[in-house]
Chains A and B, each alone.
Chain A
Amino acid sequence: MTAVTTRSEQAAPAGDGYTVVKAKHPGRWLAAAVIVVIAGLLARSVMTNPNFGWDVVGLYLRDVSIGRGILVTLGLTAISMAIGIVLGVVFAVMRLSVNPVVRSAAFAYVNFFRGTPVLVQLLFWFNLAALYPVITLGIPGVELDANQLITPMTAAILGLGLNQGAYMSEIVRAGILSVDHGQTEAAEALGITRMQTMRRVVLPQAMRVIIPPTGNETIGMLKTTALVSVISVPELLYSAQIIYARTFETVPLLIVASLWYLLITSILTIGQYYLERRFARGNQRNLPPTPLQQLKRFFARHDALSLKGSKK
């Protein structure tokens, strides 16, 4: 009890003899209690319902074909994002061009790929052979069989990468526009050409604006790759589907896939959080606390001994 008195009834810093009684927050504790009860009930239902098939989940969580599916998912995410970022920069610069034809072409690209569902785009690429059975690329002597060239994997990479390029170009464009025009003028006044200015002066400063949403897009992409299961690319979801088509253990295998998606996105989220903190450096005097720091601070404020009140 002495701890309670010393924590909730501290002498004012001025040392003028008054005892300061801290504010009480019964509402906060009530809300926390309600949430804990609901969460408990939910957890009990999940644990006791046999239809979840947790033993099957445990069995397949480390299955080899699921593991291969994860690798395909990760690879597809990385390649598609890489293509998307490169295309994004190119089309963002094109959209800011002084040439109206170049500008319009970039706008048309963004508009087309943002304006149609990515699922439809994937199916289009997959069925490219129906449109162009032979791909010549306009070069005489080059005749490629579209059916051999467009495997499910290439269709997936093309579809996801081109679609991502449209979204990335908007992100990069916003980043470029966020850089003060005076920077470009200063570079031009020094005789630095437009392309050099973009590369050395504007883009490095635009990164602060570009990085956070790009992290978001990467996490989004990881989940979007599940769509390519419709063109039978053996990524994580499709690998799970193959197994439950054989064993009929649909729900446990969907849980397996979900758990893996959740784990990977969680890791990416943590990575993104620290990346954002890094790029906010120098622009904010006080960085927001990390979740760990926040948790520590919360318990320092609301620790069990000071149930009767807390610091403001």
Chain B
Amino acid sequence: MTVMHGVEPMVKADAICKNFGSNQVLKGIDLQVQPGEVVCLIGPSGSGKSTFLRCINHLETVDGGRMWVNGKIVGYDLKGSKLYEQSHNDICRGRTEVGMVFQQFNLFPHMTVMENLIEAPRLVRKEKKATAMARAMALLEKVGLAEKAEAYPRQLSGGQQQRVAIARALCMEPQLMLFDEPTSALDPELVGEVLKVMKDLANSGMTMVVVTHEMHFARDVADRVVFMADGYVVEQGPAREVITNPQNERTKAFLASVLSEPAAA
């Protein structure tokens, strides 16, 4: 676990609550992510981990508590002692600091790989085409897909599409990357290539919050693992400790069911 004193946390969640109708999916989540830290959120489906992740970049509005990203309250402007709700366009601007990768990739199918990457830099940051393309090409090289720049998403495998999606998010030069089950929609033999790109990204010092069912990835790459169930954080700690030696009964039961072999202490 990376602990940096005197440094503003990248993410600070303060008693986050979220309801869908009468169903409370988040029941007061407190969590901090330090710059450069890689945190994996694990837990059974319906535990609220994806919803929490989407609250970080305001794809979901929170019903209670405060979310801070990079020292700013998400969705509001703080002036004096008053919080002013942000307009939709201000929220969009705030999101450029946070990249997100989805389970279903969500690449734009009518654009080539290159066009997918440079669309947001061109529209949002008003960058020159050449500038954006140069950075995009470097990122495609990093994810091993430089030769696919002119291909359309549907001509790529799932693993390749997800790597493009990661490059697309990185092209906005975010300070924080969110991953929402990035390998869950992939064929088993394609999972490795995506995890490798994510591991490289983690090693390069990117702050990452990852919702995942890949326990080996969580154990080997994450600094910290957070186990969520029923809208609460049940247990958290250094990745290897939580996964190999869980303390809470629910964590033990969950890990026993997802790991093919019982975790050795």
A192 and B120 alpha carbons, distance in the complex (Å) = 6
A190 and B124 alpha carbons, distance in the complex (Å) = 8
Q: Are B152 and A190 in contact (CB under 8 A)?
A: no
Which residues of the other chain, B, contact A191 by a CB distance below 8 angstroms?
92-96, 120, 124, 172
Chain B positions 111-132 with a Cβ under 8 Å from a chain A Cβ: 119-120, 123-124
Which of B93, B123, B169 is within 8 Å of A196, CB to CB?
A: B123
Which residues of the other chain, B, contact A185 by a CB distance below 8 angstroms?
59, 102, 106
Chain B positions 93-149 with a Cβ under 8 Å from a chain A Cβ: 93-96, 98-100, 102, 104, 106-110, 119-120, 123-124
Which residues of the other chain, A, contact B57 by a CB distance below 8 angstroms?
189
Nearest A residue to B89 by beta-carbon distance? Answer: A193
- Which residue, A182, A185, A191, A196, has most C-beta atoms of chain B within 10 A? A191
In the complex, whether B196 has a CB less than 8 A from a CB of chain A is no
A187 and B111 alpha carbons, distance in the complex (Å) = 13
In the complex, whether A278 has a CB less than 8 A from a CB of chain B is no
In the complex, whether A194 has a CB less than 8 A from a CB of chain B is yes
Nearest A residue to B108 by beta-carbon distance? Answer: A201
In the complex, whether A63 has a CB less than 8 A from a CB of chain B is no
In the complex, whether A24 has a CB less than 8 A from a CB of chain B is no
Q: Are B172 and A186 in contact (CB under 8 A)?
A: no
In the complex, whether B154 has a CB less than 8 A from a CB of chain A is yes
In the complex, whether A282 has a CB less than 8 A from a CB of chain B is yes
Q: Are B119 and A190 in contact (CB under 8 A)?
A: yes
**Chain A nearest Cβ from B255, distance in angstroms:** 30
A186 and B96 alpha carbons, distance in the complex (Å) = 12
Which residues of the other chain, B, contact A189 by a CB distance below 8 angstroms?
57, 59, 95, 98-100, 102, 169
Which residues of the other chain, A, contact B100 by a CB distance below 8 angstroms?
186, 189
- Knowing A191-B93, A193-B89, say if A186 contacts B106 (CB, 8 Å): yes
In the complex, whether B88 has a CB less than 8 A from a CB of chain A is yes
Q: Are A192 and B110 in contact (CB under 8 A)?
A: no
In the complex, whether A296 has a CB less than 8 A from a CB of chain B is no
A192 and B122 alpha carbons, distance in the complex (Å) = 10
In the complex, whether B163 has a CB less than 8 A from a CB of chain A is no
Contact with B along A240-277 (1 / 0, CB 8 A): 00000000000000000000000000000000000000
Chain A positions 185-224 with a Cβ under 8 Å from a chain B Cβ: 185-194, 196, 200-201, 204-205
A191 and B168 alpha carbons, distance in the complex (Å) = 12
A191 and B59 alpha carbons, distance in the complex (Å) = 11
- Knowing A182-B102, A183-B108, A205-B110, say if A192 contacts B152 (CB, 8 Å): no
**Chain A nearest Cβ from B57, distance in angstroms:** 6
Contact with B along A154-197 (1 / 0, CB 8 A): 00000000000000000000000000101101111111111010
- Knowing A200-B119, A201-B108, A205-B109, say if A192 contacts B124 (CB, 8 Å): yes
A189 and B55 alpha carbons, distance in the complex (Å) = 12
**Chain A nearest Cβ from B215, distance in angstroms:** 26
- Knowing A183-B106, A185-B59, A191-B95, say if A282 contacts B88 (CB, 8 Å): no
Q: Are A282 and B154 in contact (CB under 8 A)?
A: yes
A191 and B154 alpha carbons, distance in the complex (Å) = 24
**Chain A nearest Cβ from B156, distance in angstroms:** 14
A200 and B118 alpha carbons, distance in the complex (Å) = 13
Q: Are A190 and B172 in contact (CB under 8 A)?
A: yes
A187 and B59 alpha carbons, distance in the complex (Å) = 11
Q: Are A193 and B92 in contact (CB under 8 A)?
A: yes
Which residues of the other chain, A, contact B154 by a CB distance below 8 angstroms?
282
Which residues of the other chain, B, contact A192 by a CB distance below 8 angstroms?
92, 119-120, 123-124
A174 and B145 alpha carbons, distance in the complex (Å) = 35
Which residues of the other chain, B, contact A193 by a CB distance below 8 angstroms?
88-89, 92, 124
**Chain A nearest Cβ from B165, distance in angstroms:** 8
Nearest B residue to A207 by beta-carbon distance? Answer: B110
Nearest B residue to A190 by beta-carbon distance? Answer: B120
Which residues of the other chain, A, contact B93 by a CB distance below 8 angstroms?
191
Which residues of the other chain, B, contact A196 by a CB distance below 8 angstroms?
123
**Chain B nearest Cβ from A287, distance in angstroms:** 16
A182 and B181 alpha carbons, distance in the complex (Å) = 14
A91 and B95 alpha carbons, distance in the complex (Å) = 29
**Chain A nearest Cβ from B87, distance in angstroms:** 10
- Knowing A183-B108, A282-B154, say if A190 contacts B102 (CB, 8 Å): no
A204 and B108 alpha carbons, distance in the complex (Å) = 10
A183 and B106 alpha carbons, distance in the complex (Å) = 6
Which residues of the other chain, A, contact B99 by a CB distance below 8 angstroms?
189-190
A205 and B110 alpha carbons, distance in the complex (Å) = 7
A186 and B116 alpha carbons, distance in the complex (Å) = 11
| 21 sample A-B contacts, Cβ–Cβ < 8 Å, listed by A number | A182-B104, A185-B59, A186-B165, A187-B108, A189-B59, A189-B102, A190-B95, A190-B96, A190-B99, A190-B120, A190-B168, A191-B95, A191-B120, A191-B124, A192-B123, A192-B124, A194-B88, A201-B108, A205-B108, A282-B152, A282-B154
Given A188-B92, A191-B120, A282-B154, 17 further pairs, Cβ under 8 A: A182-B106, A183-B106, A186-B100, A186-B165, A187-B108, A189-B95, A189-B99, A189-B169, A190-B119, A190-B120, A190-B169, A191-B92, A191-B93, A191-B94, A191-B95, A191-B96, A193-B92
Ranked 4 nearest A-B pairs via Cβ: A186-B106, A190-B120, A191-B96, A189-B100
